[in-house]
Every structure is written in structure tokens, then in C-alpha cells.
Structure 1
Amino acid sequence: MTTEVRVPTLGESVTEATIATWFKKPGDRVEVDEMLCELETDKVTVEVPSPAAGTLAEIVAAEGETVGPDALLAQITEGGEAEQPAAKPAKAEAPADKTEDKTTMSGNSVDVMVPSLGESVTEATVATWFKKAGDRVEADEMLCELETDKVSVEVPAPTAGVLAEILAEEGATVDAKARLAVITEGAAGAAPAKPKASDAQDTVLENAGPEEMTPRSDVEDAPSAKKAMAEKGVSRDQVQGSGRDGRVMKEDVAKAQAPAPKAAAPRAPSNASDADREERVKMTRLRQTIARRLKDAQNTAAMLTTYNEADMSGVMGLRNEYKDAFEKKHKVKLGFMSFFVKACCHALKEVPEVNAEIDGTDVVYKNFVHMGVAVGTPSGLVVPVVRDADQKSFAEIEKEIGALGLKGRDGKLSMAEMQGGTFTISNGGVYGSLMSSPILNPPQSGILGMHKIQERPMVVGGQIVIRPMMYLALSYDHRVVDGKGAVTFLVRVKEALEDPRRLLMDL
């Protein structure tokens, strides 16, 4: 009996998808719900599970092809038996104190491909290999780590066998469809030497956490993390691993606290070369992309900034009055960001060009608000997106911003969570900034800069009073937004913040 594999439901308004990666090839045995391939749309990445157990008889849509909803992807012959790799030969018993180091190559060769990197990401850099050629690997065991301009990606082994060949060495730049390595299925690779009893005990003690007395001793930290720990002077027990099975990754080390600094070294002699006292560090892909995108924004958009200020007494008073009841009911603190998000959504309805973008010779107006919220991380600035923020409540916005911010700081944001924003808010006030001109986040046409709340003398009703004031800055693309629209937008944000009741009344 033959079962068809078709494109699953892609979601509202999504009319096509691209075949990103096939995890199986014709002739392979597949089980029910086992992942067959991955599709990419302009919004999400979709995994396609097997609808039946059997043999993958035919792949109809190859990698790179564009398919529509419900299109035929492949055919599965139910109950069929796929070709199995040759059985492993029985091993001769090794001497007690010797380690088997011979690599026997047998079975099929399986390519290790670059996994899906997400929409708009076309290349990655091979950061770290956790295995070397000739090593035995198990299915789903981490082989290497890639760095893109947005996230780090771990590459698991697609099958068990021997890592026969590494095609992309550390530091190499690879495209989204590149082959990284070759695994020989069913081969017996070099096994690690069996540790002595004392060594095994040391391994357990080294990896033991505060609530874990018998941790796994077979989890190896990323080599790049080991190097970073050594450079930073941080011990293994000071770092909380975020990788698979608790593996410490490079970014985990960046978040760890280093020990108190030692006494300052003697000052360099006055005749020492300046070059000898410099440190040269290669920019990460994320930092390179931030630099490129910011410069592109300046070069492409006709960027202009308009300023205003807001008396935050109204928001602060309302927040103080209801913060305890709000937290008790919604299990989240009431912050300032939800007020700013709601105020911007309100203003964008009146001035829709600030929520638009240029596409060639067209202006695309967005009838929704996907609000980008800039978050500073150890690796650089990232902008996760609160989708349909105009339809969310204060509590929903606070919860989502909190969750996205935590993911950003931990380096766990997915590609989908950082794409599709229509407008951005950047809060330089958390770092003490009193005034700044934010740079646009292309292709968006507007970004609002929040700043430090500072008490200043203000004239109110002919009297000088002290008020908590905040400078606001709207940078906008003058190709889309006229000065009148930009000023109107910022005035509406100011009005909503100074009298938050206007948000309830839609005024």
C-alpha cells in the first residue's frame, strides 16, 4: 500500500513553501511521525512527519523547490523493508589495558548538512567541532556548532556510525545548503579510553551540580567554551551549561561571573610599543551583521529624528496604584514597556505610514502591529518581536516581553521570534541614556527611543513644579513619513503617556 506525504497546513495567508532539507532519502526505512523533511515559509519553519511506517519509495519535491499547500512531497510504501547497513563484524576481545583504535568503514555514507538557518539567513560560520574524523557518533549526538548573524545553531548527527570526513573546518563560512561532513553508517570508530576508577570519580565531581549528585560524565563542553573559561579565569562549576545535556557553550561563559581581579600588574614601560598593549579580537557574525545593517540603514533610508518629552507622572501614578493588584491577578509585574507599546499602537492607527515599509516602488501599509523590542545581550543587540501587539492586553504584552527578553539574554531566541517586526521601541534609559537618536531597523520606517526618567523643573499653570520627565525620540524614513506625520505620531504617544486614560477611551 502506498501513502502520500503532502504539504501540511501552512497557516493563514501562507500560499507557498520551500523544501529546505530532506532528513531521509529514497529507500530509507521510516517510522510513524518520524521527521521526513523541513519546509520554510515567509513566516515559519514547518517540519513534515511521516504519516505511516514503511519505506520512503520516492521524493517528489527536491530540496530548494517551491510547493503550494497540500502539494505532493513524497510516497511511502507501507510495511516495506528498507536496505539495512551490513551487520557489524564481531569484535575480537581486546587486551584488558588496551583501547580499540581501529576505524572500520562499512555501510552507507550519510551527509551531514547545514540545518535550516531560518528566513533571510544565507550563510553561517563553523564555530566548533565537538568530534574529529574517525570518532564514533550516535544519532542526534552534537557534532558541531555554527554561528549565524543572529543565532548559534547546534548540528546533531543524522545517524549513528563513524565521522568519516569533515568537509568544513572550524572558521569556514558555509551556505545554507552546504555539506559539513560525512558519516559512515554502521561503522566502528575509535572509542575513548576507559577511565580509571579515580578518573571516573573526578569526572563525576567536576560535573556535579548543587542538586545533582550523579550527573552524566559523558557530556563534553564545547572546545570554544573551554578556551573562553581559561581566558576569563572561570572554573567549570561557575558556569551553567545551556547546551544539550548541560553542555557548556561559549555564550554561557560570557554570562558567568569571573573571580575578583588580582592586583594590577606593573605598568608597562613608557617605551613599550602601543601594538604590544593592544588586543585584536575577531568580530562575531552577530556583531558584523549589526554593523552592516546599521550602516545600510543610514545609507538607504532618508533618516530623520524628531524629539519631544513626556511627563511620566500619569503612568507612574497609575502603575503605583494598580501594580500589586495587577501582579496578583496576572502573575507578572506591571512595567513601563506595556504603556509604551500600547501608546505606540494607538498612535500607529492614526499615522499608519510610520508602520509601513518601502518595497521597490511600492509602499506596503501594515494593518497590524508586530512590535520589535530591542534587547541588549552579551553578544550584542537583538530585536525580538511581540506579534499582533495591537490586539494584546497589558498583561499579555508584559509576559511576552519578559519571556523574549530572558530568551535574548540566554541566547535562546529562535529566528521566527526576531523576524517580521513592523515598528521598534528601543529603551536606552535602562543604561542611563538621557537623549539619543535611534537608528532605523530596516525595512521598518520608524523606531521610538525611550530614555531615562529624570526629575526636572517644569512650568505648569504658571508655577514651577518638579516633574518626572522623559525625552522621546522618533527616527523615521522621510521617504515614507512626512514631517507632519512624524510629529503627529510623537505627540499622540506623549498624550497617551501623560494621560493613560486616553488609551482606554481610544482618544
Structure 2
Amino acid sequence: MADIKVPVFSESVSEGTLLTWHKKPGDTVKRGEVLAEIETDKVVLEVTALQDGVLVSIAKQEGDTVLSEETLGVVGDAGSAPAPAADAAPAPAAVPAATTAPADAGHEATRRDDLSPAVRKVVVENGLNPAQIPATGPKGNITKADALGAVGQQGGQQGGQPAAQAAVAVPAGARPEQRVPMTRIRQRISERLKDVQNTAAILTTFNEVNMQPAMDLRKKYQDQFVAKHGVKLGFMSLFVRAATEALKAFPVVNASVDGKDIIYHGFYDIGIAVASDRGLVVPILRDTDQMSLAGIEKAIGGFAQKAKAGKLTLDDMSGGTFSITNGGTFGSMMSTPIINAPQSAILGMHNIIERPIAQNGQVVIAPMMYIALSYDHRIIDGKEAVQFLVTIKNLLEDPARMLLEL
């Protein structure tokens, strides 16, 4: 017999929520196979089997709060029989047909008390009726896999329409409401953003960048870059390099506040904001002053894939001395990004729009991007913030300066 343990959390994480069981008592498991997923306020952790065998019993249900190294269940030898659950509820009776479901089936998800937060989120977001979802959970409950399976069937019935866009079936003239619990990650994001607004003296300065030189650079060398490095040259690597050079010139922007002290960091760890299904995450590029453009692009691509698959680790997102967020990927023209505490500044990128500008005494059409720097005015003066942003502008409008370190 071997206990299934909750992974050891980092010092900043005290507890988590058991999101999903991928196995039920009696199922065969293999060493390294994912048994369950736990959501903390930063990442989703996978719990894997340490040996081949059978899942004998589970001690925690989906939606339960779990602590570091707490026992989730037991895996035994192949001949082991699953231990009977003392409080096991009988499996729900089969639902006759869709026509027997109540008229307000769209509200059913908010009335079911046996749905875990993970399952409830899938059910509500996709307009599912829990009464029509076959339950395979150990206590006759609906698992996340059951709900996702129902989403897939729903998408097929709708001719390939994305399930997330499916309309909730509600009576005509009704005013539906749905209450969905925040995930731990969303709760933590909310707390951190509000804390930094209450603590830091946030101010934002703006500038604009003519992206034509950077676009010409990409066009000229893209094929050679891809052939040599196996990855495309994007704008983000140029911004990371430009930001790193600007941080060297203005160390206070790379600093942080600790009580009445200012901590100046002699290294450059830049966080890249990445959107995921579970909310905004900010994985960290370490020592960007030592990274090549290709290395930056590969690292960012790796983070994006891990975020999409829910594989980001605590180490991926710990630390950081400065952050960059790109709202332009979603069409944002201008914004005031919020500082990622305990950092003191964040750079905001936006979409590129062709606009008329004055150049050498003539009006020309150029691809322009607004950039924004939100900073903590407690330690960064306006002069330093503006000069920092101007440095980034100058480097991007003449990319050769970055390569020649001018």
C-alpha cells in the first residue's frame, strides 16, 4: 500500500482545492500516471502515482480543501480491492429523457449542492443540465471528466459550434442569473491587484513607438532566423531586450519596496503576462541580460504552451523584478496596467495601428503602438519613468542599437 500525498506547497501557499480525480476506486493505475489535480492560488498541480497498482480508496472529494502533504487516497497492489466508502451515496437514478427535465434547467447548476467548484464552472459556462450528465464519480457524483464529455457531445450536436458559446436554455422572458465560485487563482489575482492599488502610489506615463523599423527587421531576417533557431522572431523578444537595457540605465525601475527600504536588484528577471483558462499568469524569464532573442522567443513559447496545458509550476512564476503585458494581442489600443507586487513598474504593449504622423516635415502613414509604464511613485520619480519609456522607444525605433549595445 502507498499513500497518495498532496505535493509540498511553496512557503507562500498554505492550502489548495482538489479539482479533479482522474481515477475512481478500483481503477488500475500506472506509475507516473496523473491521478488528481489540485488548484492553489497560483498554479494547478498534478498528483501522480508513485507505483503501479489499483486505486484502493480516496480520502478527499473534488472541491475539498487540502493541505501540503495531506493524504488523498491509497494505491495498493493489483490484487487489492477498493475499500467501501462508509458514506457512499447511491448512484442517481437514470433520467428518462430530456423532455422530462424541468423547464428552468438552465438554473439547475446553481441548485445542485453536490457539484465541485471545477464541475460547476464547466456546467455553468457551457449551459449544461447536470441531470442529463452521466455520473461516474466514486459516490455517484459528476466528475470534471463527465462534464467535459458532455461539453464535447453538446459541441457535436451543435455542428461544431464551440461549447463555450452555447446559449443557456431558459424560459422566454426570464432573467437568468448564475452564481459561480471564484477559483483560487482568480481569488488570489483579485487580492494581489487590490493590495497593490491600496499600497503603491501608482502613476502611468505613455509614449508611442513607430514599429516600422522593427517590422522591417523581422521581414528581412525572419527566414534566416527561423532556419537557424527553429522559432519565429516576434516583437516580444525585442521588447524584452529593450526593457532590459532600459532597466540597466534606470536601476530604480528594477527595484522594489520593502517597508522603509528600497531593494535594488542586480539581475533582470522579467515576467511576461500570459492569459490562461484559469486567469492571468506571469511566468518569469530569468537573467534576461544573458538571453539571446532566440532564447527569449523559445522561453516565451514554452510558457504559453505550459499555461494552455495548465502545466506552469510555482518556480515558473516565483520572483520577478519587472513585468511586461501585451494587451495588443486582444486589440487593446491603450491601458494603464497594474503593477505586479512587489515589483515597482510594469510595461504595457498595445495593438499596432497605422496612423498619420509627422516625419521629416512630411505627413506619412506609419504602424504606431502606444506603450505605457505604470510605476510606483513612492520610489520612481516622473523624470526617471519618462526617460525609461523614451529609452525603450528609441531602442525599438532603431533596433540595431540593441544589437550593438549603443
TM-score bracket, normalised by the shorter chain, equals 0.7 to 0.9
CA distance in 2, matches of 1:383, 1:411: 13
Instruction: From 318, 339, 351, give the equivalent of 1:440.
Output: 339
CA distance in 2, matches of 1:286, 1:235: 27
CA distance in 2, matches of 1:257, 1:120: 41
Q: Following TM superposition, by how much is the alpha carbon of 1:265 offset from its aligned partner in structure 2, in angstroms?
A: 8.9
CA distance in 2, matches of 1:129, 1:311: 51
CA distance in 2, matches of 1:162, 1:403: 34
Higher helix share: 2
Structure-1-length-normalised TM-score:
0.62
CA distance in 2, matches of 1:266, 1:160: 44
Equivalent residue number for residue 167 of structure 1: 59
Instruction: From 404, 411, 414, give the equivalent of 2:313.
Output: 414
CA distance in 2, matches of 1:368, 1:340: 17
Q: Does 1:120 align with 2:12?
A: yes
SS in 2 for 1:233: helix
Distance 1:280 1:322, change over 3 A: same
Distance 1:397 1:132, change over 3 A: closer
SS in 2 for 1:488: helix
Q: Does 1:258 align with 2:162?
A: yes
Equivalent residue number for residue 314 of structure 1: 213
**Among the aligned pairs, what percent are the same residue?**
52
CA distance in 2, matches of 1:131, 1:403: 29
Q: Following TM superposition, by how much is the alpha carbon of 1:343 offset from its aligned partner in structure 2, in angstroms?
A: 0.7
Q: Does 1:230 align with 2:150?
A: yes
Q: Following TM superposition, by how much is the alpha carbon of 1:344 offset from its aligned partner in structure 2, in angstroms?
A: 0.4
Instruction: From 327, 331, 352, give the equivalent of 2:226.
Output: 327
CA distance in 1, matches of 2:217, 2:30: 57
Q: Over aligned residue pairs, what C-alpha RMSD do you find?
A: 3.0
Instruction: From 394, 410, 431, give the equivalent of 2:330.
Output: 431
Q: Deviations over 1:122-146 (max 9, x none)?
A: 2110112344557676655544321
SS in 2 for 1:155: strand
Instruction: From 427, 448, 462, give the equivalent of 2:361.
Output: 462
Q: Following TM superposition, by how much is the alpha carbon of 1:490 offset from its aligned partner in structure 2, in angstroms?
A: 0.5
Instruction: From 468, 480, 488, give the equivalent of 2:387.
Output: 488
Asked if 1 retains the 8 angstrom alpha-carbon contact of 2:253 and 2:344, the reply is yes
Asked if 2 retains the 8 angstrom alpha-carbon contact of 1:385 and 1:421, the reply is yes
Asked if 2 retains the 8 angstrom alpha-carbon contact of 1:233 and 1:258, the reply is no
CA distance in 2, matches of 1:227, 1:294: 32
CA distance in 2, matches of 1:179, 1:133: 15
Q: Following TM superposition, by how much is the alpha carbon of 1:261 offset from its aligned partner in structure 2, in angstroms?
A: 7.8
Instruction: From 47, 57, 64, give the equivalent of 1:155.
Output: 47
Distance 1:286 1:257, change over 3 A: farther
Equivalent residue number for residue 201 of structure 2: 302
Equivalent residue number for residue 404 of structure 1: 303
CA distance in 2, matches of 1:388, 1:266: 52
Gaps of at least 5 residues in structure 1 are 1-107, 192-221, 237-255
SS in 1 for 2:7: coil
Distance 1:341 1:175, change over 3 A: same
Asked if 2 retains the 8 angstrom alpha-carbon contact of 1:136 and 1:188, the reply is no
Q: Does 1:476 align with 2:368?
A: no
Equivalent residue number for residue 89 of structure 1: none
Equivalent residue number for residue 181 of structure 1: 73
SS in 2 for 1:290: helix
Q: Does 1:498 align with 2:390?
A: no
Q: Does 1:269 align with 2:172?
A: yes
CA distance in 2, matches of 1:475, 1:289: 21
SS in 1 for 2:275: strand
Distance 1:119 1:261, change over 3 A: closer
Q: How does 1:384-395 map to 2 (within 5 A)?
A: 384-395=283-294
Distance 1:492 1:266, change over 3 A: closer
Q: Indicate the larger mover: 362-371 or 151-160.
A: 151-160
Q: Following TM superposition, by how much is the alpha carbon of 1:159 offset from its aligned partner in structure 2, in angstroms?
A: 5.0
Equivalent residue number for residue 266 of structure 2: 367
SS in 1 for 2:234: coil
Asked if 2 retains the 8 angstrom alpha-carbon contact of 1:407 and 1:413, the reply is yes
Q: Following TM superposition, by how much is the alpha carbon of 1:505 offset from its aligned partner in structure 2, in angstroms?
A: 3.5
Q: Deviations over 1:374-404 (max 9, x none)?
A: 1112222111111111111112111221222
Distance 1:502 1:224, change over 3 A: same
Larger radius of gyration: 1
Paired letter, 1:282: P
Gaps of at least 5 residues in structure 2 are 84-141
Q: How does 1:16-35 map to 2 (within 5 A)?
A: none
Q: Does 1:341 align with 2:245?
A: no
Q: Following TM superposition, by how much is the alpha carbon of 1:360 offset from its aligned partner in structure 2, in angstroms?
A: 2.8
Equivalent residue number for residue 3 of structure 1: none
Asked if 2 retains the 8 angstrom alpha-carbon contact of 1:426 and 1:448, the reply is yes
Paired letter, 2:183: T
CA distance in 1, matches of 2:284, 2:71: 32
CA distance in 1, matches of 2:178, 2:153: 17
Length, aligned pairs only:
346
Distance 1:267 1:136, change over 3 A: closer
CA distance in 1, matches of 2:152, 2:244: 44
Asked if 2 retains the 8 angstrom alpha-carbon contact of 1:404 and 1:413, the reply is yes
Q: Following TM superposition, by how much is the alpha carbon of 1:234 offset from its aligned partner in structure 2, in angstroms?
A: 5.1
Distance 1:475 1:334, change over 3 A: same
